[in-house]
Structure 1
Amino acid sequence: MKISIRIDSAAARAQLRRWGGEFREKVHKAVARAMASEAAEIKQEVRAHVAGKMAVAKKSFLKGFTAKVLAKDTKRLPALYVGSRIPWSGVHESGGQIGGRMLIPLHGRVGRKRFKAQVAELMRGGNAYFVKNAKGNVVLMAENIQEHDRPLAGFKRRYRKAEGVKRIKRGADVPIAVLVPRVVLKKRLDVTRLVAGRIPRLASAVQKQLERL
C-alpha cells in the first residue's frame, strides 16, 4: 500500500525553477524539514489506527507502516510517502477477495508456517481427514490419539476454550480447519482518509518554514 501526498502544484514547481539556485536549495530544504516534522506524528497516528481496527498478532506488522520524506530530487519539491513495507496490507484498505481453495484454521490464530507443518505431520501419520458438517462446510478433522499429541496440542487447547470443555476424550474427533473456496476481506482500514485529514496541518508547517527564509 502506497499513499503519496504532494502539496506542491504546477505553479509552485514553476516558481521553484524560477528561483535562483541558492534560494531554491533553501526552499527545498525548508519544505523537507516541515514534512519531516509532521511525518513522525503521521506515522504514529497510522499505526494507532491500524492497531485499533485490526487484531494485530505481530508487532512487525504495525512497524511495517511508515511515513517518510522523499527529497532526493532537488529539481522537484519534496513529497511525503505514507505506506507499508508489507505488500498485501493494501487489501485491508480497499477490501478484496482471495480466490482458490484454502484451509483456514479454526478456533484461533496459527502462524502460517507452523500450521502448514502441523497439518503435514498429521497427514503423513494418516490422522487427518475431511468431513462435511451439517452446514455443508468441508472441515479437516484429526483423531485425538497419543501418537499425535504434539501437533494436536494447540488445536485441542483452542477447541476446548471455544467449546467450553475441560477434556477431550481419546479417540474423539478434533476439528482443525475449514476448507473454503475463497476468502472475502472487508475494508477495515482508512489510512487514506487519515492522511488526507493531516494535509492542512502539513501545509501550515510548510508555510511557516518558508516564511522564515
Structure 2
Amino acid sequence: MRIAIRIDSKAAQAQLRRWGGEYRDKVKKTVARAMTTQARELKDDVRAHVAGQVAVVKKSFLKGFTAKVLDKNPSRLPALYVGSRIPWAGMHERGGSIGARMLIPLHGRVGRKRFKAQIAELMRGGNAYFIKNKRGNIVLMAENLKEHDRPLSGFKRRYRKAEGIKKLKRGADIPIAVLVPRVVLKKRLNVERLVAGRIPRLAAAMEKSLSAL
C-alpha cells in the first residue's frame, strides 16, 4: 500500500521548485525527523493491532511488521514505509486462498521447517501413511513405535491433550496432519485503515516542524 501526500496548489509547487541549497536540506531533515517520531508510534500501533487480531506463536512474526523512514536518496524528500518483511503477511490483510495441496498439522501448531523435517523422518522410516476418515478427509497417520519416539513426541503430546488421553499404547495410531486441497485465509487485519487514520497526525507533525524553520 502506498499513501502519498501531494501539494495541489500551483503557487506552493512553484515555491517548492525555488527551494534549493541549504533551505531544501533543512526542510528534508525536518520532515525526516517528524516522520521518524511518528514511525516509532505507528510501528507499535501496527504490531499491537496484529497481536490483537492474529494468534501469534513466534515473536518474529510481530517483529516483521515495521515502520521506517526512507531518507537515503539526497534528490528526493523522505518517505515513510509501513509494511512487513514476511511475504505472505498480506494474505491476512486482504484474505485469499492457496490452491496447492497442503499438509496441515493437527492438534496445535508446528514450525514449518520442523514439521517438514519430522514428516520426512517418519516417511523415511516407513511410519507414515494416509487414511480417509469418516468425514472424507485425508489424514496422515503414524504408529506409536519406540524407534520413532523422537519425531513423534510433539504430535503425541498434543494429541493426548486434545483427546484427554493420559497414555498412548505402543502401536496405537496417531493422527498427525490433514491433507487439504486448498487453504482459505479470511481477512483478519486492517493495517491499511490504521495507517490511513494516522496520516492527519503525520501531516500536522510535519507542518508544525516546518513552521519553525
Query: What's the TM-score once normalised by structure 1's chain length?
Result: 0.93
C-alpha distance in 1 between matches for 2:66 and 2:161: 36
Distance in 2 separating the partners of 1:109 and 1:130: 20
Match of 1:65 in 2: 65
What aligned pairs does 1:7-86 form with structure 2 within 5 A after superposition?
7-11=5-9, 14-86=14-86
Change (3 A) 1:135 1:15: farther
DSSP-derived class of the 1:47 partner: helix
2:142 aligns with: 142
Taking a change above 3 Å as real, the CA distance of residues 14 and 95 of structure 1, as seen in their structure-2 partners, is farther
For residues 14 and 181 of structure 1, what CA distance do their matches in structure 2 show? 58
Q: Are residue 158 (structure 1) and residue 158 (structure 2) matched?
A: yes
Determine the structure 1 residue equivalent to 2:87. Answer: 87
Partner of 2:198: 198
Q: 1:145 and 1:189 mapped to 2: Cα distance?
A: 42
1:74 deviates by: 3.9
Give deviations 1:149-177, integer Å, cap 9, x for gaps: 11111101000111111111222110000
Residues 30-76 of structure 1 show CA distances to partners (whole Å, capped at 9, x for unaligned) of 11111111110000111111111111111111111111112233444
What's the counterpart of residue 109 of structure 2? 109
| Higher normalized strand content (fraction of residues) | 1
Instruction: Provide the aligned C-alpha RMSD in A.
Output: 1.5
TM-score (norm 2): 0.93
Which stretch of the first structure deviates more once superposed, 26-35 or 174-183? 26-35
Task: Give the match's secondary structure for 1:121.
Answer: helix
The CA deviation at 1:84 is 0.9
> Higher mean Cα deviation, 64-73 or 37-46?
64-73
Q: 1:156 is aligned with what amino acid?
A: K
Unaligned residue ranges in structure 1 (runs of 5+) = none
Aligned partner of 2:158: which letter?
A: R
